[in-house]
């Protein structure tokens, strides 16, 4: 028999707890930007009840084990509201304390301006550029679906929650990602749209009149128009649980909110977005909230109660999971040391072979997939062209979640961000492909992959003007240089099939993302692949060289041929393959000087911009102009990538 008086008491106590917690969160949301003299309080204030409800009632998570593989994932796509997430992480006991909140946006703090994965426990992805987090969430939902199908729902069976604002949905990446998510029917993906109709410039009607509900329904999403419930934890909980129970499609919860609420000065005003309140604004708002007018007011009893409740709420679910064989089942998906484990199990190529490196990578992937179940692959409508294919593996789709081949469609921008989400979910290594020139479409995601240390393998094929007839719109020139300067991104341009194999192993063992830059055209086998290990290696020795020819990719074979001609003319040329310029630069002086002997002139050859090579070479033979429409071999020769031109440049350098 139900005791109504006890239920009423519990409900009353819970309501008091909710009210107190939300008021404290809103106070923190004002105080942190005020003391930092920087930040965004308005969105955090408006979403305080939603975030509190998610963490205290809806999400399955465990502060004592932030990396629990079966936790619900939470992504704040509108990362400018980071203080909201930091407040919840502090209250829940994820390692942040009130002093960390006081250090918001300060040098070396655990509460940087936007959430950064790996920096703050409980942060799943690095967000800030709007729309990226939304697409990351799609990737996490794909990872969850695939793992649930392959290792079982007793091991992986969780939801992905993402909060997105007007800015996230305005950015084009959200269209690409939402379209794919709807097509795939990612039913455990729940996006809460913070519908406050405000951006920095002002009301959204200045720039946008989209029908968001109609838009997402056209993608195949389930849409819940929540109505004006943003202040009611009970109603928010009900709507979110409704979204969790929906099957067959991802869910968009459209939640109207009032930015800056309950400020008497800035509620519903765009000034609440990015301008910290001054002291009197905070004083007036805290009076309405019923909390003391003191900075970072977090009562000890509330903090203790919140942390105890948070630790206990999912403790039994977490205990049963860790006591099961779940960890053992996931062990096969570990990627640590995968490159070393695969050594000797991947293809090697003989001198009578001449595969394009985009063809070689497909053979490498097929072999690696037999030993590493966590490898998934896909491309932006260029699966066969790029080699990012686990042939003959089946497609991941709404009917087959165990498939490892993801067809992204013509969606490069989203593909990169989705791959980051897949990688950061854990257990899976995404290998994604497109033409190198379209790396431009993916640059925000590539940069965030590097910043996040997401183990994504970007396969960029058609790496030079050797693309040929498609002309300069499809011929990358400046792209190699532009990727090499991204901190934390490993960029490898292999000379042949053997270096491609070693490049893939290096990508698996690298702590972060890798760009493999591959050829369209066939390339002779001129290396044993060992140059990848330290970034460079000698492929044609000359004990007492008159000149050193340094090249990457397809130009290594060009330099080998040039060295033969130079030898006939009495010029001794050493040829160095340098597939990873950054790794070579990090080697000790003795190694570098063993390849590039001091006092011996160095000629660098690369079918790309000469930018950056002056640190290595005396003369650079490259391409500092856009390409041309012609057959690949004709375009290369026209732009100076020919044996005769290398010989000419080498002889001129030697004669100085």
Separation of CA 50 from chain center: 26
Angle between helices 643-654 and 555-568 (to 10 degrees): 60
Look up 625 and say whether it is catalytic. no
CA nearest to 381, candidates 447, 457, 438, 446 = 438
Cβ 491 vs Cβ 516: under 8 Å: no
Q: Is 492 helix (H, G, I), strand (E, B) or coil?
A: strand
In our burial notation (b when 16+ CB lie closer than 10 A, e otherwise), range 123-140 reads: bbbbbbbbbbbbbbbbbb
* Residue that the structure tokens 């492909």 belong to: 433
Radius of gyration over every alpha carbon of the chain, rounded to an integer in angstroms: 28
Cβ 257 vs Cβ 204: under 8 Å: no
Annotated active-site residue in 116, 144, 412, 499: 412
* Contacts for 576 with CB less than 8 Å, ≥ 6 apart: 531, 536, 537, 538, 539, 548, 549, 550, 551, 595, 596
Interatomic CA distance for residues 538 and 285, integer angstroms = 69
Cβ 572 vs Cβ 544: under 8 Å: yes
Interatomic CA distance for residues 41 and 414, integer angstroms = 28
Burial of 570 (0-12, 13-18, 19+ CB in 10 A): exposed
Q: Per the structure block, which two tokens stand in for 569?
A: 């003319």
Q: What is the DSSP string of 84-105?
A: HHHHHHHHHTSS--HHHHHTTT
Interatomic CA distance for residues 100 and 83, integer angstroms = 11
Interatomic CA distance for residues 285 and 27, integer angstroms = 8
Beta strand segments in 606-649, E: 619-621
* Contacts for 66 with CB less than 8 Å, ≥ 6 apart: 94, 95, 121, 122
In our burial notation (b when 16+ CB lie closer than 10 A, e otherwise), range 392-417 reads: ebeebeeeebebbbbbbbebbbbbbb
Burial of 261 (0-12, 13-18, 19+ CB in 10 A): buried
Q: Per the structure block, which two tokens stand in for 614?
A: 């002056």
* Enzyme catalytic residues: 412
């Amino acid at each position: 028999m139900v005791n109504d008086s006890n239920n009423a008491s519990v409900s009353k106590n819970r309501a008091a707890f909710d009210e107190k917690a939300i008021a404290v969160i809103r106070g923190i949301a004002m105080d942190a930007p005020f003391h930092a003299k920087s930040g965004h309080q308005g969105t955090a204030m408006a979403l305080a009840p939603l975030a509190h409800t998610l963490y205290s009632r809806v999400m399955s998570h465990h502060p004592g084990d932030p990396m629990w593989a079966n936790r619900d994932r939470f992504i704040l796509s509108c990362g400018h509201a980071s203080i909201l997430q930091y407040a919840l992480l502090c209250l829940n006991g994820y390692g942040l304390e009130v002093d960390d909140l006081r250090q918001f946006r300060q040098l070396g703090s655990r509460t940087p301006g936007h959430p950064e994965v790996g920096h703050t426990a409980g942060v799943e992805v690095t967000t800030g550029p709007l729309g990226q987090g939304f697409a990351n969430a799609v990737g996490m939902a794909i990872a969850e679906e695939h793992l649930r199908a392959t290792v079982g729902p007793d091991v992986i069976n969780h939801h992905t929650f993402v909060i997105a604002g007007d800015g996230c949905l305005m950015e084009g990446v959200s269209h690409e990602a939402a379209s794919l998510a709807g097509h795939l029917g990612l039913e455990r993906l729940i996006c809460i749209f913070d519908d406050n109709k405000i951006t920095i410039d002002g009301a959204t009607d200045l720039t946008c009149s989209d029908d968001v509900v109609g838009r997402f329904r056209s993608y195949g999403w389930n849409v819940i128009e929540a109505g004006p419930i943003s202040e009611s934890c009970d109603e928010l909980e009900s709507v979110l649980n409704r979204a969790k129970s929906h099957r067959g499609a991802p869910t968009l919860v459209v939640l109207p909110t009032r930015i800056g609420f309950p400020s008497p000065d800035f509620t519903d005003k765009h000034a609440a977005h990015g301008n910290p309140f001054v002291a009197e604004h905070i004083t007036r708002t805290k009076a309405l909230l019923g909390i003391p007018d003191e900075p970072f007011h977090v009562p000890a009893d509330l903090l203790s109660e919140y942390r105890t409740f948070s630790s206990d709420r999912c403790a039994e679910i977490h205990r049963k999971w860790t006591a099961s064989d779940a960890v053992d089942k996931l062990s096969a998906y570990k990627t640590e040391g995968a490159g070393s484990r695969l050594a000797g199990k991947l293809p090697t190529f003989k001198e009578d072979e001449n595969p394009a490196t985009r063809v070689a990578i497909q053979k490498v992937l097929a072999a690696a997939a037999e030993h590493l179940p966590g490898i998934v692959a896909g491309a932006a409508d260029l699966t066969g062209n790029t080699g990012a294919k686990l042939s003959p593996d089946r497609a991941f789709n709404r009917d087959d979640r165990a498939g490892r081949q993801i067809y992204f469609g013509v969606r490069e921008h989203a593909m990169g961000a989705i791959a980051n989400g897949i990688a950061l979910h854990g257990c899976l290594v995404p290998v994604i492909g497109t033409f190198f020139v379209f790396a431009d479409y993916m640059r925000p995601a590539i940069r965030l992959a590097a910043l996040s240390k997401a183990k994504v393998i970007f396969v960029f094929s058609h790496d030079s003007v050797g693309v040929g007839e498609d002309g300069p719109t499809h011929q990358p020139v400046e792209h190699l240089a532009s990727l090499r300067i991204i901190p934390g991104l490993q960029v490898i341009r292999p000379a042949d099939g053997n270096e491609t194999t070693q490049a893939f192993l290096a990508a698996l063992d690298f702590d972060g993302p890798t760009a493999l830059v591959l050829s369209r055209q066939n390339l002779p086998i001129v290396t044993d692949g060992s140059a990848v290990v330290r970034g460079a290696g000698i492929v044609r020795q000359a004990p007492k060289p008159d000149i050193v020819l340094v090249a990457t990719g397809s130009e290594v074979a060009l330099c080998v041929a040039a060295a033969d001609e130079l030898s006939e003319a009495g010029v001794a040329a050493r040829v160095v393959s340098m597939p990873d310029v950054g790794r070579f630069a990090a080697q000790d002086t003795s190694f570098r000087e063993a390849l590039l002997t001091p006092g011996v002139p160095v000629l660098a050859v690369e079918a790309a911009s000469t930018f950056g090579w002056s640190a290595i070479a005396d003369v650079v033979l490259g391409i500092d102009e856009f390409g041309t429409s012609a057959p690949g071999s004709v375009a290369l020769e026209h732009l100076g990538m020919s044996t005769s031109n290398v010989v000419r440049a080498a002889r001129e350098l030697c004669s100085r």
